[in-house]
């Protein structure tokens, strides 16, 4: 690629960043890194009505946590500052005026009431009202009054908007890296508002001006912006600027049924759709971080929502993703969000962690329960249970019997406790008492040897033995548990079972 790659993530700070936005940021990041380019973050906060305090900080924190922080943004390598559109406010008016002067835009003075009346009139004739070439000369615009009158009305403080004068009778042949060739009929477009008399640009104008000034080479964004592509292409043309290349990412779909994954689906269905917790007066929308997901797992999972490298490979580190990423391999059709797969990825990253690292993460949970466990012992326990876990938060439930004797016994499993069991368990205690080298394999050899010599069936010992130690028929290899809890505790638990069951 000869052109310097510069891509941006340009969220509006209207709330917490949802998972679709995170995926857009990730694909921009991967594309930038793959092409030795720059990934920058621009905050599109021109719509003051939808501004939500805290959202901007949330977005930055989320990208940091995921390991995909921008190279340039507010407070960081500010080569094209400011990166917040509200601070670029004074810039846009000039560009709006340029479009007026070149005949590509016009002032529209219609009051809301006048627009309503015009809409009603069209509807009565069975038509849908679109503000465009069909009626712009019948409405209250600078296209039908003199330049002097226009200037006077503006000077008098009348409210106006500046609308784009969409060209008529044209078919636009555009190209999208993911979708290929796409064409649009300009007669079907409406004359979008670009600028308002409160001095604020709309998204469309600010976005195009900034992408030009910030030297954006590729616009990679969600499919919901595809309908804006013809207007954006026309705006670049009207300004006489080269347009960036476009790539519209597929939608992320609900796990079941049809439709786009919504912000509400997550908490409703019990999985996070936000990177971090988002707290409001109405409650908390849960985030991946607080649910115990590893950022690497979230990144890996999201990368495969709408993209693959053409092989069966599913596990990719961030570096591997950068190396394999290709916009041409992004799918056109929607990607189903699968919460189970999401957890599967976390499991994969969990088992890859060092046992000692996981032990450190588990330790505070244990301390809260009142157990201050020796580090090497905890590391050993973690090594025995992690294969079945998705999250560190599941560790306690999977391993409580390592720390305390069972308080009760699973009812169904207790059926394995037969009339002859107490006597057999007494004999087992005698065998265990004699074991010197109290390590899993040695204990196992001695116990099994004793069973074989005395012709005692496996089931007669192993299940009641496990029940005594664990309280249920769950947990890792039994003799590993025996080793970890030690001889004294093992015997004490068997005794307790004999007296309780
Ligand atoms: N501010 C827009 C958004 O919130 C940006 C769309 C674009 O990337 O052009 O998604």
Predicted confidence pLDDT, tens digits, the chain (501 residues): 457 999 999 999 999 999 999 999 999 999 999 999 999 999 999 988 889 999 999 999 999 999 999 999 999 999 999 999 999 999 999 999 999 999 999 999 999 999 999 999 999 999 999 999 999 999 999 999 999 999 999 999 999 999 999 999 999 999 999 999 999 999 999 999 999 988 999 999 999 999 999 999 999 999 999 999 999 999 999 999 999 999 999 999 999 888 999 888 887 888 999 999 999 998 999 999 999 999 999 999 999 999 999 999 999 999 999 999 999 999 999 999 999 999 999 999 999 999 999 999 999 999 999 999 999 999 999 999 999 999 999 999 999 999 999 999 999 999 999 999 999 999 999 999 999 999 999 999 999 999 999 999 999 999 999 999 999 999 999 999 999 999 999 999 999 999 998
Cα separation of 468 and 484, whole Å? 15
Same domain, 69 and 209: yes
Burial class for 322, CB neighbours closer than 10 Å (0-12, 13-18, 19+): middle
Q: 409: cis peptide before it, omega within 30°?
A: no
| Last residue within a domain, chosen from 196, 213, 238 | 196
Same domain, 446 and 299: no
Place of tokens 């950022």: 295
Cα separation of 425 and 416, whole Å? 13
Report yes or no on 368 lying in a domain.
yes
| Last residue within a domain, chosen from 220, 253, 286 | 253
Question: Does residue 248 line the site of ligand 1, with CB under 6 A?
Answer: no
Same domain, 372 and 457: no
Q: Which residues contact 271 (CB under 8 A, 6 or more apart)?
A: 339, 342
Report yes or no on 1 lying in a domain.
no
Q: Is 325 helix (H, G, I), strand (E, B) or coil?
A: coil
Q: Are 234 and 172 in contact (CB under 8 A)?
A: yes
Strand 335-336 relative to strand 180-185, pairing: unpaired
Count of domains forming the chain: 5
Query: DSSP label at 370?
Result: T
Cα separation of 419 and 432, whole Å? 21
* Residue 279 Cα distances to 268, 287, 471, angstroms: 16, 10, 39
Same domain, 174 and 313: no
- Whichever domain contains 221, its CATH number is 3.40.50.620
Same domain, 104 and 184: yes
Residue 263 designated active-site: yes
pLDDT for the residue numbered 188: 96
Question: What is the total residue count of the chain?
Answer: 501
Cα separation of 468 and 401, whole Å? 10
Binding residues are 263
Report yes or no on 20 lying in a domain.
yes
pLDDT for the residue numbered 1: 45
Q: Are 413 and 476 in contact (CB under 8 A)?
A: no
Q: Are 106 and 112 in contact (CB under 8 A)?
A: no
Q: Is 61 helix (H, G, I), strand (E, B) or coil?
A: helix
- Whichever domain contains 289, its CATH number is 1.10.1160.10
pLDDT for the residue numbered 267: 79
pLDDT for the residue numbered 336: 95
Report yes or no on 227 lying in a domain.
yes
Q: Are 84 and 59 in contact (CB under 8 A)?
A: no
Question: Does residue 11 line the site of ligand 1, with CB under 6 A?
Answer: yes
Question: Does residue 210 line the site of ligand 1, with CB under 6 A?
Answer: no
Query: What distance separates the 2 farthest-apart alpha carbons in the chain?
Result: 112
Report yes or no on 82 lying in a domain.
no
Q: Is 441 helix (H, G, I), strand (E, B) or coil?
A: helix
Same domain, 358 and 424: no
Q: Are 333 and 251 in contact (CB under 8 A)?
A: no
| Last residue within a domain, chosen from 349, 366, 381 | 349
Candidate list 254, 263, 336, 377, residue with the active-site label: 263
Same domain, 94 and 188: yes
Question: Does residue 400 line the site of ligand 1, with CB under 6 A?
Answer: no
Question: Does residue 15 line the site of ligand 1, with CB under 6 A?
Answer: no
Cα separation of 467 and 450, whole Å? 20
Cα separation of 371 and 386, whole Å? 19
Same domain, 344 and 493: no
Ligand 1 atom at minimum distance from 8 CA? 8
Q: What are phi and psi of 325, to 5 degrees?
A: -65, 135
Domain region containing 297: 265-349
Ligand 1: which of 225, 229, 252 to mutate, most ligand atoms within 8 Å of CB?
A: 225
Q: What are phi and psi of 42, to 5 degrees?
A: -120, 135
Ligand 1 atom at minimum distance from 14 CA? 4
Cα separation of 171 and 256, whole Å? 38
Same domain, 357 and 343: no
- Whichever domain contains 488, its CATH number is 1.10.10.350
Exposure class string for 365-393: b at 16+ Cβ within 10 A, else e:
ebeeeeeebeeeebbbbbbbbbeebbebe
Alpha helices by DSSP H, listed for 125-248, are: 147-155, 203-213, 229-239
Cα separation of 419 and 430, whole Å? 19
Ligand 1 atom at minimum distance from 228 CA? 9
Question: Does residue 204 line the site of ligand 1, with CB under 6 A?
Answer: no
Strand 335-336 relative to strand 278-280, pairing: unpaired
pLDDT for the residue numbered 2: 56
Same domain, 455 and 469: yes
Same domain, 110 and 177: yes
Ligand 1 atom at minimum distance from 10 CA? 5
Q: Are 42 and 10 in contact (CB under 8 A)?
A: yes
Query: DSSP label at 113?
Result: H
Ligand 1: which of 28, 45, 52, 207 to mutate, most ligand atoms within 8 Å of CB?
A: 207
Binding residues for ATP are 263
Report yes or no on 407 lying in a domain.
no
CB atoms within 10 A of CB 171: 10
The two structure tokens encoding residue 60: 């930055």
Same domain, 94 and 191: yes
Query: DSSP label at 103?
Result: T
Distance 254 CA to ligand 1 centre (A): 21
Report yes or no on 403 lying in a domain.
no
Report yes or no on 373 lying in a domain.
yes
Q: Is 436 helix (H, G, I), strand (E, B) or coil?
A: coil
Cα separation of 110 and 162, whole Å? 11
């Amino acid at each position: 690629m000869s052109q310097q790659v510069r891509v941006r993530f340009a969220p509006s700070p209207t709330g917490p960043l949802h998972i679709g936005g995170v995926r857009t940021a990730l694909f921009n990041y991967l594309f930038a890194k793959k092409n030795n380019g720059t990934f920058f973050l621009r905050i599109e906060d021109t719509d003051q009505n939808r501004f939500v305090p805290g959202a901007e900080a949330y977005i930055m924190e989320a990208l940091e946590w995921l390991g995909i922080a921008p190279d340039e943004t507010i407070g960081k390598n500010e080569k094209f500052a400011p990166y917040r559109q509200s601070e670029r406010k004074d810039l846009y008016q000039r560009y709006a005026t340029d479009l007026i002067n070149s005949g590509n835009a016009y002032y529209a003075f219609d009051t809301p009431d006048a627009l309503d009346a015009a809409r009603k009139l069209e509807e009565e004739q069975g038509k849908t009202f679109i503000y465009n070439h069909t009626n712009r000369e019948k409405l209250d615009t600078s296209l039908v009054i003199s330049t002097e009158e226009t200037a006077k009305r503006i000077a008098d403080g009348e409210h106006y908007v500046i609308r784009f004068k969409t060209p008529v009778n044209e078919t636009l042949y555009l190209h999208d890296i993911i979708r290929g060739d796409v064409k649009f009929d300009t007669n079907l477009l409406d004359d979008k508002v670009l600028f308002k008399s409160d001095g604020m640009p709309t998204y469309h104008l600010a976005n195009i001006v900034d992408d030009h000034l910030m030297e954006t080479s590729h616009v990679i964004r969600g499919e919901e912006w595809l309908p804006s592509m013809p207007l954006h292409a026309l705006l670049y043309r009207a300004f006489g600027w080269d347009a960036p290349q476009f790539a519209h990412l597929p939608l992320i779909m609900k796990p079941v049924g049809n439709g786009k994954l919504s912000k509400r689906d997550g908490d409703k269905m019990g999985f996070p759709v936000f990177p971090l917790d988002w707290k409001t007066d109405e409650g908390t929308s849960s985030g991946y971080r607080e649910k115990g997901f590893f950022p690497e797992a979230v990144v890996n999972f999201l990368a495969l929502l709408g993209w693959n490298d053409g092989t069966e490979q599913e596990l990719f580190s961030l570096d591997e993703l950068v190396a394999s990423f290709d916009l041409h391999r992004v799918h056109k059709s929607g990607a189903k969000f699968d919460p189970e797969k999401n957890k599967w990825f976390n499991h994969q990253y969990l088992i890859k962690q060092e046992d000692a690292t996981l032990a450190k993460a588990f330790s505070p949970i244990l301390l809260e329960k009142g157990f201050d466990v020796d580090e090497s012992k905890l590391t050993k326990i973690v090594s025995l249970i992690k294969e079945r876990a998705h999250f560190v938060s599941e560790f306690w439930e999977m391993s409580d019997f390592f720390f305390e004797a069972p308080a009760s016994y699973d009812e169904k499993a207790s059926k394995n406790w037969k009339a002859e069991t107490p006597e057999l368990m007494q004999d087992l205690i005698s065998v265990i008492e004699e074991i010197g080298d109290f390590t899993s394999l040695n204990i196992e050899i001695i116990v099994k040897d004793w069973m074989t010599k005395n012709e005692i069936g496996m089931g007669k010992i192993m299940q009641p033995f496990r029940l005594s130690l664990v309280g249920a028929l769950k947990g890792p290899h039994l003799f590993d548990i025996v080793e970890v809890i030690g001889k004294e505790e093992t015997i004490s638990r068997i005794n307790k079972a004999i007296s309780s069951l």
